[in-house]
Amino acid sequence: MIINMEGLSYEDRLQSLKLWSLEQRRNRQDLIEVFKMAKDMTRIGLQELFMLEENTKGTRGHSLKLAKMRCTCDCWRHLFLTQ
């Protein structure tokens, strides 16, 4: 779709267009969604996917230290079917 880009590799095209890779965009979106959960901006609560750790020694003054819970397919089905 962009002229003179058909022979370049994926990384070269990203670099010349100054774009992020798909993996970086996905990670960024995941962080945005966790932020929304923490600020109650979404229907899925933070406690449904994460545990809040009581040890706040390494959090630089805030109380949101998250620990990921193990999740199975049944967990995801329950989350999205009950919403």
* Nearest residue to 42 (alpha-carbon basis) of 34, 52, 31: 34
For 47, phi then psi, to 5°, come to -70, -15
Range list of H helices, 1-83: 10-17, 22-38, 46-49, 73-81
**pTM as predicted:** 0.62
The CA-CA-CA angle for residues 35, 49, 40, to 5°, reads 40
For 33, phi then psi, to 5°, come to -65, -40
**pLDDT tens for each residue of 5-64:** 888 999 999 999 999 999 999 999 999 998 898 888 988 888 887 777 766 666 666 667
Structure tokens at 9: 């590799």
